[in-house]
Structure 1
Amino acid sequence: MSHTYSLDYVAQQASAKRTVLRTATARYFLSAAFAGALIALVLAVSMRLGQLFHSNGSPYYAIAYSAFFGTALVAIIVSKTELFTSNVMYMTLGKLTGRVSSGEMLASWSTVYFGNLAGILLFTVVWMQTGGLGDYPADHVASQIAAVKTGAPFMKIFWKGVLCNWIICLAVWLPMKLENEMAKIALVFLLVFAFFFSGFEHSIANMALFSLVVAHAPEALSFADIMHNMLPATLGNIVGGGIGVALLAFMLERHTLSTPAATAQKQADKLNPAIS
Protein backbone atom coordinates (compact mmCIF):
# COMPACT_ATOMS: atom_id res chain seq x y z
CA MET A 1 0.00 0.00 0.00
CA SER A 2 1.33 3.43 -0.88
CA HIS A 3 0.84 6.58 1.18
CA THR A 4 0.55 9.54 -1.18
CA TYR A 5 0.61 11.74 1.89
CA SER A 6 3.01 9.94 4.20
CA LEU A 7 2.97 12.20 7.23
CA ASP A 8 0.05 10.64 9.07
CA TYR A 9 1.38 7.14 8.46
CA VAL A 10 4.89 8.00 9.69
CA ALA A 11 3.47 9.77 12.77
CA GLN A 12 1.46 6.65 13.60
CA GLN A 13 4.58 4.54 13.17
CA ALA A 14 6.45 6.84 15.55
CA SER A 15 3.70 6.37 18.11
CA ALA A 16 3.95 2.59 17.70
CA LYS A 17 7.72 2.74 18.16
CA ARG A 18 7.24 4.78 21.35
CA THR A 19 4.89 2.12 22.70
CA VAL A 20 7.41 -0.67 22.06
CA LEU A 21 10.19 1.43 23.59
CA ARG A 22 8.16 1.95 26.76
CA THR A 23 6.66 -1.52 27.14
CA ALA A 24 9.30 -3.81 25.60
CA THR A 25 12.62 -1.98 25.74
CA ALA A 26 14.67 -5.17 25.38
CA ARG A 27 12.80 -6.07 22.18
CA TYR A 28 13.35 -2.54 20.85
CA PHE A 29 17.08 -2.82 21.58
CA LEU A 30 17.22 -6.28 19.96
CA SER A 31 15.51 -4.91 16.83
CA ALA A 32 18.21 -2.23 16.65
CA ALA A 33 20.95 -4.82 17.16
CA PHE A 34 19.53 -6.85 14.28
CA ALA A 35 19.59 -3.78 12.02
CA GLY A 36 23.18 -3.07 13.05
CA ALA A 37 24.19 -6.61 12.17
CA LEU A 38 22.54 -6.23 8.75
CA ILE A 39 24.50 -3.04 8.12
CA ALA A 40 27.75 -4.76 9.13
CA LEU A 41 27.03 -7.81 6.98
CA VAL A 42 26.30 -5.83 3.83
CA LEU A 43 29.22 -3.47 4.45
CA ALA A 44 31.59 -6.43 4.85
CA VAL A 45 30.41 -7.91 1.56
CA SER A 46 30.68 -4.47 -0.08
CA MET A 47 34.28 -4.16 1.08
CA ARG A 48 35.12 -7.62 -0.24
CA LEU A 49 33.56 -6.70 -3.56
CA GLY A 50 35.40 -3.38 -3.70
CA GLN A 51 38.71 -5.03 -2.81
CA LEU A 52 38.21 -7.63 -5.56
CA PHE A 53 37.92 -4.89 -8.16
CA HIS A 54 40.72 -2.81 -6.57
CA SER A 55 43.23 -5.67 -6.39
CA ASN A 56 42.64 -6.40 -10.07
CA GLY A 57 43.43 -2.83 -11.02
CA SER A 58 39.89 -1.74 -11.87
CA PRO A 59 39.24 1.99 -11.40
CA TYR A 60 35.55 1.20 -10.86
CA TYR A 61 35.85 -0.46 -7.45
CA ALA A 62 33.95 2.40 -5.76
CA ILE A 63 31.00 1.87 -8.08
CA ALA A 64 30.97 -1.84 -7.23
CA TYR A 65 30.81 -1.47 -3.46
CA SER A 66 28.48 1.54 -3.60
CA ALA A 67 25.96 -0.23 -5.84
CA PHE A 68 25.65 -3.19 -3.45
CA PHE A 69 25.19 -1.28 -0.20
CA GLY A 70 21.53 -0.47 -0.90
CA THR A 71 20.85 -4.11 0.05
CA ALA A 72 21.25 -3.11 3.70
CA LEU A 73 18.50 -0.48 3.75
CA VAL A 74 16.12 -2.67 1.75
CA ALA A 75 16.66 -5.51 4.24
CA ILE A 76 16.08 -3.19 7.20
CA ILE A 77 12.89 -1.75 5.71
CA VAL A 78 11.53 -5.21 4.89
CA SER A 79 12.44 -6.65 8.31
CA LYS A 80 11.02 -3.54 10.04
CA THR A 81 14.03 -3.30 12.35
CA GLU A 82 15.37 -0.11 13.91
CA LEU A 83 18.15 1.89 12.27
CA PHE A 84 19.31 5.06 14.01
CA THR A 85 19.38 7.29 10.94
CA SER A 86 15.78 6.60 9.89
CA ASN A 87 14.67 6.50 13.54
CA VAL A 88 15.73 10.16 13.75
CA MET A 89 13.18 11.00 11.06
CA TYR A 90 10.37 8.91 12.56
CA MET A 91 10.76 10.16 16.12
CA THR A 92 11.27 13.79 15.11
CA LEU A 93 7.99 13.61 13.24
CA GLY A 94 6.45 11.91 16.25
CA LYS A 95 7.55 14.87 18.36
CA LEU A 96 6.36 17.46 15.81
CA THR A 97 2.91 15.83 15.56
CA GLY A 98 2.52 15.46 19.31
CA ARG A 99 2.67 11.66 19.37
CA VAL A 100 6.07 11.51 21.12
CA SER A 101 7.60 13.58 23.93
CA SER A 102 11.10 15.05 23.76
CA GLY A 103 12.29 12.56 26.38
CA GLU A 104 10.84 9.63 24.45
CA MET A 105 12.44 10.86 21.24
CA LEU A 106 15.88 11.07 22.86
CA ALA A 107 15.43 7.72 24.60
CA SER A 108 14.54 6.13 21.27
CA TRP A 109 17.56 7.63 19.53
CA SER A 110 19.97 6.47 22.23
CA THR A 111 18.47 2.98 22.51
CA VAL A 112 18.61 2.44 18.76
CA TYR A 113 22.08 3.98 18.41
CA PHE A 114 23.66 1.70 20.99
CA GLY A 115 21.56 -1.24 19.83
CA ASN A 116 22.96 -0.77 16.32
CA LEU A 117 26.47 -0.66 17.81
CA ALA A 118 25.87 -3.88 19.78
CA GLY A 119 24.72 -5.71 16.66
CA ILE A 120 27.71 -4.46 14.69
CA LEU A 121 30.21 -5.56 17.33
CA LEU A 122 28.60 -8.99 17.71
CA PHE A 123 28.55 -9.51 13.95
CA THR A 124 32.22 -8.47 13.70
CA VAL A 125 33.25 -11.00 16.35
CA VAL A 126 31.40 -13.81 14.55
CA TRP A 127 32.60 -12.66 11.11
CA MET A 128 36.22 -12.78 12.24
CA GLN A 129 35.80 -16.41 13.29
CA THR A 130 35.06 -17.22 9.64
CA GLY A 131 38.21 -15.54 8.37
CA GLY A 132 36.84 -12.03 8.07
CA LEU A 133 37.81 -10.20 4.91
CA GLY A 134 40.56 -12.72 4.14
CA ASP A 135 43.93 -11.37 3.03
CA TYR A 136 44.13 -7.82 4.33
CA PRO A 137 46.88 -5.75 2.73
CA ALA A 138 47.84 -2.37 4.18
CA ASP A 139 46.15 -0.61 1.26
CA HIS A 140 42.87 -2.51 1.61
CA VAL A 141 39.86 -0.54 0.38
CA ALA A 142 38.32 -0.55 3.88
CA SER A 143 41.45 0.98 5.44
CA GLN A 144 41.68 3.60 2.70
CA ILE A 145 38.07 4.67 3.26
CA ALA A 146 38.54 4.73 7.04
CA ALA A 147 41.65 6.89 6.70
CA VAL A 148 39.77 9.44 4.58
CA LYS A 149 36.85 9.51 7.00
CA THR A 150 38.96 9.98 10.15
CA GLY A 151 41.33 12.46 8.50
CA ALA A 152 38.71 14.95 7.35
CA PRO A 153 38.01 18.22 9.23
CA PHE A 154 35.22 18.18 11.82
CA MET A 155 32.83 20.46 9.91
CA LYS A 156 33.38 18.64 6.62
CA ILE A 157 32.35 15.40 8.32
CA PHE A 158 29.34 17.16 9.87
CA TRP A 159 28.00 18.45 6.55
CA LYS A 160 28.62 15.10 4.90
CA GLY A 161 26.57 13.61 7.73
CA VAL A 162 23.78 16.09 7.06
CA LEU A 163 23.65 15.22 3.36
CA CYS A 164 23.90 11.51 4.08
CA ASN A 165 20.85 11.30 6.31
CA TRP A 166 18.90 13.70 4.16
CA ILE A 167 19.32 11.15 1.36
CA ILE A 168 18.80 8.09 3.58
CA CYS A 169 15.55 9.43 5.05
CA LEU A 170 14.34 10.34 1.57
CA ALA A 171 15.09 6.73 0.63
CA VAL A 172 12.69 5.68 3.40
CA TRP A 173 10.10 8.43 2.84
CA LEU A 174 9.72 8.62 -0.94
CA PRO A 175 9.05 4.92 -1.64
CA MET A 176 5.97 5.18 0.60
CA LYS A 177 4.39 7.19 -2.20
CA LEU A 178 4.85 4.41 -4.78
CA GLU A 179 2.62 1.41 -5.48
CA ASN A 180 5.02 -0.89 -7.31
CA GLU A 181 7.33 -2.89 -5.04
CA MET A 182 10.14 -3.10 -7.58
CA ALA A 183 9.98 0.66 -8.10
CA LYS A 184 10.32 1.12 -4.34
CA ILE A 185 13.38 -1.14 -4.20
CA ALA A 186 14.96 0.57 -7.22
CA LEU A 187 14.47 4.01 -5.66
CA VAL A 188 16.06 2.87 -2.39
CA PHE A 189 19.08 1.44 -4.24
CA LEU A 190 19.57 4.58 -6.33
CA LEU A 191 19.37 6.95 -3.36
CA VAL A 192 21.67 4.81 -1.22
CA PHE A 193 24.12 4.65 -4.11
CA ALA A 194 24.06 8.46 -4.24
CA PHE A 195 25.14 8.82 -0.60
CA PHE A 196 27.64 5.94 -0.53
CA PHE A 197 29.38 6.79 -3.79
CA SER A 198 29.59 10.45 -2.74
CA GLY A 199 31.47 9.49 0.41
CA PHE A 200 28.89 11.01 2.76
CA GLU A 201 28.97 10.11 6.44
CA HIS A 202 26.50 7.53 7.80
CA SER A 203 27.22 7.12 11.50
CA ILE A 204 26.06 3.49 11.71
CA ALA A 205 27.79 2.40 8.50
CA ASN A 206 30.91 4.13 9.83
CA MET A 207 30.61 2.13 13.07
CA ALA A 208 30.62 -1.05 10.98
CA LEU A 209 33.54 0.12 8.85
CA PHE A 210 35.69 1.07 11.83
CA SER A 211 34.81 -2.16 13.61
CA LEU A 212 35.91 -4.23 10.61
CA VAL A 213 39.11 -2.23 10.10
CA VAL A 214 40.14 -2.44 13.76
CA ALA A 215 39.39 -6.18 13.82
CA HIS A 216 41.77 -6.73 10.88
CA ALA A 217 44.37 -4.03 11.61
CA PRO A 218 44.18 -2.89 15.26
CA GLU A 219 46.95 -0.34 14.76
CA ALA A 220 45.16 1.37 11.88
CA LEU A 221 42.76 3.47 13.98
CA SER A 222 42.84 4.90 17.49
CA PHE A 223 39.79 5.58 19.63
CA ALA A 224 40.43 9.31 19.15
CA ASP A 225 40.41 8.83 15.35
CA ILE A 226 37.08 7.05 15.53
CA MET A 227 35.47 9.64 17.79
CA HIS A 228 36.75 12.45 15.57
CA ASN A 229 34.50 11.03 12.87
CA MET A 230 31.61 9.60 14.88
CA LEU A 231 30.71 12.77 16.78
CA PRO A 232 30.23 15.12 13.80
CA ALA A 233 28.79 12.34 11.62
CA THR A 234 26.14 11.55 14.25
CA LEU A 235 25.26 15.20 14.78
CA GLY A 236 25.06 15.71 11.03
CA ASN A 237 22.79 12.68 10.65
CA ILE A 238 20.44 14.11 13.28
CA VAL A 239 20.25 17.45 11.46
CA GLY A 240 19.85 15.86 8.02
CA GLY A 241 17.06 13.50 9.06
CA GLY A 242 15.39 15.68 11.66
CA ILE A 243 15.39 19.00 9.82
CA GLY A 244 16.12 18.10 6.19
CA VAL A 245 13.31 15.54 5.97
CA ALA A 246 11.13 15.38 9.11
CA LEU A 247 10.64 19.12 9.64
CA LEU A 248 10.36 19.83 5.93
CA ALA A 249 7.81 17.05 5.44
CA PHE A 250 5.84 18.31 8.43
CA MET A 251 5.70 21.82 6.93
CA LEU A 252 4.64 20.49 3.52
CA GLU A 253 2.10 17.87 4.59
CA ARG A 254 0.77 18.80 8.03
CA HIS A 255 -2.57 19.69 6.46
CA THR A 256 -3.03 15.95 5.80
CA LEU A 257 -2.77 14.95 9.47
CA SER A 258 -5.79 13.24 10.94
CA THR A 259 -7.36 14.91 13.96
CA PRO A 260 -7.98 12.61 16.95
CA ALA A 261 -11.69 12.62 16.08
CA ALA A 262 -11.02 11.72 12.46
CA THR A 263 -8.68 8.92 13.51
CA ALA A 264 -11.31 7.52 15.88
CA GLN A 265 -13.92 7.67 13.13
CA LYS A 266 -11.65 5.81 10.73
CA GLN A 267 -11.17 3.06 13.30
CA ALA A 268 -14.93 2.90 13.91
CA ASP A 269 -15.59 2.66 10.19
CA LYS A 270 -13.20 -0.28 9.94
CA LEU A 271 -14.93 -2.08 12.80
CA ASN A 272 -18.47 -1.20 11.69
CA PRO A 273 -18.57 -0.86 7.91
CA ALA A 274 -21.59 0.92 6.55
CA ILE A 275 -24.36 -1.26 5.12
CA SER A 276 -25.49 -0.11 1.70
Structure 2
Amino acid sequence: MSYLNPSEFAKKMIDAGEAKVFMSTRDTLIRAFMAGAILALAAAFAVTVTVETGQPIVGALLFPVGFCMLYLLGFDLLTGVFTLTPLALIDKRPGVTPRSILRNWGLVFVGNFAGAILVAVMMAVIFTYAFSVDPNEVGQRIGTIGEGRTVGYSDHGAAGMLTLFIRGVLCNWMVSTGVVAAMMSTSVSGKVIAMWMPILVFFYMGFEHSIVNMFLFPSGLMLGGDFSVMDYVMWNEIPTVVGNLVGGVTFVGLTLYATHARTAETRTRPDPQPADAPAK
Protein backbone atom coordinates (compact mmCIF):
# COMPACT_ATOMS: atom_id res chain seq x y z
CA MET A 1 0.00 0.00 0.00
CA SER A 2 1.12 3.57 -0.65
CA TYR A 3 0.06 4.84 2.79
CA LEU A 4 2.52 4.79 5.68
CA ASN A 5 1.18 4.74 9.22
CA PRO A 6 2.18 7.52 11.64
CA SER A 7 4.94 5.58 13.39
CA GLU A 8 6.56 4.88 10.00
CA PHE A 9 6.52 8.45 8.72
CA ALA A 10 7.60 9.78 12.13
CA LYS A 11 10.85 7.83 11.66
CA LYS A 12 11.15 9.29 8.16
CA MET A 13 10.85 12.77 9.66
CA ILE A 14 13.78 12.15 12.02
CA ASP A 15 15.87 10.55 9.27
CA ALA A 16 15.17 13.50 6.97
CA GLY A 17 16.19 16.00 9.65
CA GLU A 18 19.44 14.15 10.25
CA ALA A 19 20.23 14.01 6.53
CA LYS A 20 19.69 17.75 6.14
CA VAL A 21 22.03 18.54 9.04
CA PHE A 22 24.89 16.61 7.42
CA MET A 23 24.28 17.76 3.85
CA SER A 24 27.21 19.55 2.19
CA THR A 25 27.25 23.33 2.04
CA ARG A 26 27.08 23.28 -1.76
CA ASP A 27 24.06 20.99 -1.93
CA THR A 28 22.27 22.82 0.87
CA LEU A 29 22.65 26.17 -0.88
CA ILE A 30 21.64 24.86 -4.30
CA ARG A 31 18.56 23.10 -2.98
CA ALA A 32 17.52 26.10 -0.90
CA PHE A 33 18.11 28.48 -3.83
CA MET A 34 15.88 26.45 -6.12
CA ALA A 35 13.20 26.10 -3.45
CA GLY A 36 13.07 29.86 -2.92
CA ALA A 37 12.92 30.52 -6.66
CA ILE A 38 10.17 27.99 -7.37
CA LEU A 39 8.04 29.15 -4.45
CA ALA A 40 8.46 32.76 -5.59
CA LEU A 41 7.27 31.84 -9.08
CA ALA A 42 4.27 30.10 -7.54
CA ALA A 43 3.47 33.23 -5.51
CA ALA A 44 3.70 35.41 -8.63
CA PHE A 45 1.45 32.94 -10.42
CA ALA A 46 -1.12 32.94 -7.61
CA VAL A 47 -1.25 36.76 -7.44
CA THR A 48 -1.61 36.93 -11.24
CA VAL A 49 -4.50 34.46 -11.19
CA THR A 50 -6.17 36.32 -8.33
CA VAL A 51 -5.94 39.67 -10.12
CA GLU A 52 -7.12 38.32 -13.47
CA THR A 53 -10.05 36.32 -12.08
CA GLY A 54 -10.95 38.55 -9.16
CA GLN A 55 -11.29 35.39 -7.06
CA PRO A 56 -8.66 34.89 -4.31
CA ILE A 57 -9.79 31.29 -3.81
CA VAL A 58 -8.65 30.45 -7.35
CA GLY A 59 -5.14 31.76 -6.65
CA ALA A 60 -5.06 29.82 -3.39
CA LEU A 61 -6.19 26.63 -5.11
CA LEU A 62 -3.36 26.88 -7.64
CA PHE A 63 -0.51 28.18 -5.44
CA PRO A 64 0.35 24.70 -4.01
CA VAL A 65 1.67 23.64 -7.42
CA GLY A 66 4.96 25.36 -6.56
CA PHE A 67 5.26 23.71 -3.17
CA CYS A 68 4.57 20.29 -4.65
CA MET A 69 7.15 20.81 -7.40
CA LEU A 70 9.94 21.85 -5.06
CA TYR A 71 9.22 19.04 -2.60
CA LEU A 72 9.17 16.35 -5.26
CA LEU A 73 12.46 17.70 -6.65
CA GLY A 74 14.07 17.40 -3.21
CA PHE A 75 14.60 21.11 -2.57
CA ASP A 76 14.52 22.68 0.91
CA LEU A 77 12.55 25.51 2.47
CA LEU A 78 13.46 27.16 5.75
CA THR A 79 10.01 26.35 7.10
CA GLY A 80 10.58 22.64 6.51
CA VAL A 81 14.03 22.42 8.10
CA PHE A 82 12.70 24.36 11.10
CA THR A 83 10.45 21.38 11.77
CA LEU A 84 12.62 18.40 10.81
CA THR A 85 16.18 19.12 11.94
CA PRO A 86 15.41 19.63 15.67
CA LEU A 87 13.94 16.12 15.75
CA ALA A 88 17.35 14.62 14.97
CA LEU A 89 18.77 16.47 17.98
CA ILE A 90 15.93 15.43 20.28
CA ASP A 91 16.34 11.84 19.09
CA LYS A 92 20.05 12.06 19.99
CA ARG A 93 21.32 11.18 16.53
CA PRO A 94 25.15 11.00 16.62
CA GLY A 95 26.87 14.21 15.58
CA VAL A 96 23.75 16.35 15.54
CA THR A 97 24.33 19.46 17.65
CA PRO A 98 22.60 22.81 18.08
CA ARG A 99 25.47 24.40 16.14
CA SER A 100 25.02 22.04 13.19
CA ILE A 101 21.30 22.77 13.12
CA LEU A 102 21.89 26.55 13.19
CA ARG A 103 24.39 26.10 10.34
CA ASN A 104 21.73 24.35 8.28
CA TRP A 105 19.12 27.01 9.04
CA GLY A 106 21.52 29.80 8.09
CA LEU A 107 22.48 28.22 4.78
CA VAL A 108 18.89 27.47 3.86
CA PHE A 109 17.85 31.03 4.73
CA VAL A 110 20.56 32.46 2.47
CA GLY A 111 19.69 30.09 -0.38
CA ASN A 112 15.93 30.72 -0.12
CA PHE A 113 16.47 34.47 -0.03
CA ALA A 114 18.79 34.45 -3.05
CA GLY A 115 16.33 32.40 -5.11
CA ALA A 116 13.35 34.55 -4.13
CA ILE A 117 15.21 37.80 -4.84
CA LEU A 118 16.28 36.61 -8.30
CA VAL A 119 12.68 35.84 -9.23
CA ALA A 120 11.55 39.16 -7.68
CA VAL A 121 13.90 41.05 -9.99
CA MET A 122 12.88 39.02 -13.04
CA MET A 123 9.17 39.48 -12.39
CA ALA A 124 9.63 43.21 -11.73
CA VAL A 125 11.28 43.46 -15.16
CA ILE A 126 8.27 41.71 -16.70
CA PHE A 127 5.70 43.84 -14.85
CA THR A 128 7.39 47.12 -15.90
CA TYR A 129 8.98 46.31 -19.29
CA ALA A 130 12.42 46.55 -17.68
CA PHE A 131 11.38 49.51 -15.47
CA SER A 132 10.51 51.63 -18.50
CA VAL A 133 6.81 51.99 -17.61
CA ASP A 134 4.66 51.93 -14.49
CA PRO A 135 3.88 48.48 -13.06
CA ASN A 136 0.95 46.61 -14.57
CA GLU A 137 -2.07 45.61 -12.49
CA VAL A 138 -0.37 42.55 -11.02
CA GLY A 139 2.70 44.58 -10.09
CA GLN A 140 0.54 47.20 -8.42
CA ARG A 141 -1.23 44.51 -6.40
CA ILE A 142 2.09 43.14 -5.15
CA GLY A 143 3.10 46.64 -4.04
CA THR A 144 -0.18 46.93 -2.15
CA ILE A 145 0.41 43.60 -0.42
CA GLY A 146 3.80 44.84 0.77
CA GLU A 147 2.31 47.99 2.26
CA GLY A 148 -0.61 46.30 3.99
CA ARG A 149 1.54 43.62 5.58
CA THR A 150 4.30 45.90 6.91
CA VAL A 151 3.07 49.38 7.77
CA GLY A 152 -0.38 47.83 8.13
CA TYR A 153 0.93 45.89 11.13
CA SER A 154 3.08 48.73 12.47
CA ASP A 155 0.04 51.02 12.62
CA HIS A 156 -1.30 48.75 15.39
CA GLY A 157 1.92 48.67 17.41
CA ALA A 158 2.31 45.71 19.78
CA ALA A 159 -1.07 44.30 18.76
CA GLY A 160 0.05 44.32 15.15
CA MET A 161 3.31 42.57 16.03
CA LEU A 162 1.43 39.87 17.95
CA THR A 163 -0.96 39.40 15.02
CA LEU A 164 1.97 39.06 12.63
CA PHE A 165 3.68 36.52 14.89
CA ILE A 166 0.51 34.41 15.24
CA ARG A 167 0.02 34.42 11.49
CA GLY A 168 3.59 33.14 11.18
CA VAL A 169 2.89 30.38 13.69
CA LEU A 170 -0.30 29.29 11.93
CA CYS A 171 1.43 29.40 8.58
CA ASN A 172 4.11 26.89 9.43
CA TRP A 173 1.64 24.74 11.30
CA MET A 174 0.00 24.25 7.91
CA VAL A 175 3.13 24.27 5.72
CA SER A 176 5.00 21.78 7.87
CA THR A 177 1.90 19.62 7.98
CA GLY A 178 2.20 19.59 4.20
CA VAL A 179 5.86 18.55 4.42
CA VAL A 180 5.02 15.71 6.80
CA ALA A 181 1.88 14.73 4.90
CA ALA A 182 3.98 14.03 1.83
CA MET A 183 5.83 11.38 3.85
CA MET A 184 2.57 9.50 4.43
CA SER A 185 2.57 8.20 0.87
CA THR A 186 5.04 6.47 -1.43
CA SER A 187 3.19 7.52 -4.61
CA VAL A 188 3.50 10.86 -6.38
CA SER A 189 -0.28 11.34 -6.53
CA GLY A 190 -0.63 10.57 -2.82
CA LYS A 191 2.12 13.01 -1.90
CA VAL A 192 0.62 15.79 -4.04
CA ILE A 193 -2.90 15.37 -2.64
CA ALA A 194 -1.61 15.30 0.95
CA MET A 195 0.53 18.41 0.44
CA TRP A 196 -2.10 20.38 -1.45
CA MET A 197 -4.67 20.60 1.34
CA PRO A 198 -2.72 22.38 4.14
CA ILE A 199 -0.88 24.65 1.67
CA LEU A 200 -4.22 25.79 0.27
CA VAL A 201 -5.38 26.64 3.79
CA PHE A 202 -2.27 28.70 4.61
CA PHE A 203 -2.34 30.74 1.39
CA TYR A 204 -6.04 31.51 1.34
CA MET A 205 -6.07 32.51 5.01
CA GLY A 206 -3.29 35.05 4.45
CA PHE A 207 -0.87 33.53 6.94
CA GLU A 208 2.72 34.77 6.88
CA HIS A 209 5.33 32.58 5.17
CA SER A 210 8.91 33.84 5.44
CA ILE A 211 10.02 32.58 2.02
CA VAL A 212 6.94 33.77 0.13
CA ASN A 213 7.54 37.15 1.77
CA MET A 214 11.17 37.11 0.54
CA PHE A 215 9.58 37.47 -2.90
CA LEU A 216 6.53 39.63 -2.23
CA PHE A 217 8.16 42.40 -0.24
CA PRO A 218 11.35 43.02 -2.24
CA SER A 219 9.10 42.92 -5.31
CA GLY A 220 6.82 45.48 -3.68
CA LEU A 221 9.78 47.77 -3.01
CA MET A 222 10.86 47.55 -6.66
CA LEU A 223 7.31 48.14 -7.88
CA GLY A 224 6.60 51.33 -5.94
CA GLY A 225 5.20 50.05 -2.66
CA ASP A 226 5.08 52.76 0.01
CA PHE A 227 7.20 51.08 2.69
CA SER A 228 10.91 50.77 3.46
CA VAL A 229 13.44 47.98 3.73
CA MET A 230 13.44 48.49 7.50
CA ASP A 231 9.62 48.18 7.54
CA TYR A 232 9.96 44.87 5.73
CA VAL A 233 12.68 43.51 8.01
CA MET A 234 11.25 44.65 11.35
CA TRP A 235 7.53 44.48 10.63
CA ASN A 236 7.44 41.32 8.63
CA GLU A 237 10.47 39.12 7.95
CA ILE A 238 11.94 38.76 11.46
CA PRO A 239 8.63 38.18 13.31
CA THR A 240 7.49 35.87 10.52
CA VAL A 241 10.66 33.76 10.74
CA VAL A 242 10.25 33.45 14.51
CA GLY A 243 6.57 32.57 14.16
CA ASN A 244 7.33 29.98 11.46
CA LEU A 245 9.94 28.39 13.75
CA VAL A 246 7.57 28.18 16.72
CA GLY A 247 4.68 26.87 14.62
CA GLY A 248 6.68 24.18 12.85
CA VAL A 249 8.51 22.87 15.90
CA THR A 250 5.66 23.09 18.40
CA PHE A 251 2.55 22.05 16.51
CA VAL A 252 4.05 19.62 14.00
CA GLY A 253 7.52 18.33 14.85
CA LEU A 254 7.30 17.87 18.60
CA THR A 255 3.70 16.69 18.69
CA LEU A 256 4.20 13.98 16.07
CA TYR A 257 7.53 12.95 17.60
CA ALA A 258 6.10 12.74 21.10
CA THR A 259 3.09 10.64 20.25
CA HIS A 260 4.31 8.52 17.32
CA ALA A 261 8.10 8.20 17.61
CA ARG A 262 8.16 8.09 21.43
CA THR A 263 4.74 6.73 22.18
CA ALA A 264 3.92 6.46 25.89
CA GLU A 265 3.15 3.09 27.41
CA THR A 266 -0.43 2.01 26.94
CA ARG A 267 -2.66 1.80 29.98
CA THR A 268 -3.24 -1.62 31.50
CA ARG A 269 -6.54 -3.10 30.48
CA PRO A 270 -8.72 -4.43 33.33
CA ASP A 271 -9.20 -8.17 33.34
CA PRO A 272 -12.62 -9.08 31.94
CA GLN A 273 -15.00 -10.61 34.46
CA PRO A 274 -15.89 -14.28 33.96
CA ALA A 275 -19.31 -14.85 32.48
CA ASP A 276 -20.51 -16.54 35.68
CA ALA A 277 -19.16 -13.87 38.03
CA PRO A 278 -21.81 -12.44 40.38
CA ALA A 279 -23.05 -9.01 39.55
CA LYS A 280 -21.89 -6.20 41.83
Identify the TM-score tier after normalising by the shorter chain: 0.7 to 0.9
Distance 1:138 1:187, change over 3 A: closer
What's 2:251 paired with? 244
Of 202-211 and 129-138, deviating more is 129-138
- Is 2:105 aligned against 1:109? yes
What is the distance in 2 between the residues matched to 1:66 and 1:205?
13
**Structure 2: unaligned runs, 5 residues or longer:** 154-159, 264-280
- Is 2:222 aligned against 1:215? yes
Contact 1:14 1:94 (8 Å CA) reproduced: yes
What is the distance in 1 between the residues matched to 2:241 and 2:192?
26
Secondary structure class of the residue paired with 1:12: helix
What's 2:68 paired with? 74
Which residue identity is paired with 1:36? Answer: G
Distance 1:190 1:237, change over 3 A: same
What's 2:230 paired with? 224
**Structure 1: unaligned runs, 5 residues or longer:** 55-59, 257-276
Among 170, 173, 184, the residue aligned to 2:177: 170
Contact 1:40 1:205 (8 Å CA) reproduced: yes
Distance 1:129 1:17, change over 3 A: same
Deviations 1:44-97 (A, max 9, x none): 11111111123xxxxx2x112111110121011101111000111111211211
Distance 1:34 1:127, change over 3 A: same
What is the distance in 2 between the residues matched to 1:206 and 1:196?
12
Distance 1:70 1:247, change over 3 A: same
Secondary structure class of the residue paired with 2:245: helix
Contact 1:203 1:230 (8 Å CA) reproduced: yes
What RMSD in Å do the two structures reach over aligned CA positions? 2.1
Which residue identity is paired with 1:18? Answer: V
What's 1:185 paired with? 192
Could you state the TM-score of these two structures normalised by the residue count of structure 1?
0.82
Contact 2:37 2:115 (8 Å CA) reproduced: yes
Q: Report the CA distance between 1:255 and its aligned residue.
A: 3.4
Which residue identity is paired with 1:15? Answer: E
Equivalenced residues, count: 246
Secondary structure class of the residue paired with 2:262: helix
Tell me which structure has the larger Cα radius of gyration: 2
Matched-pair identity in %: 26
What is the distance in 2 between the residues matched to 1:44 and 1:190?
20
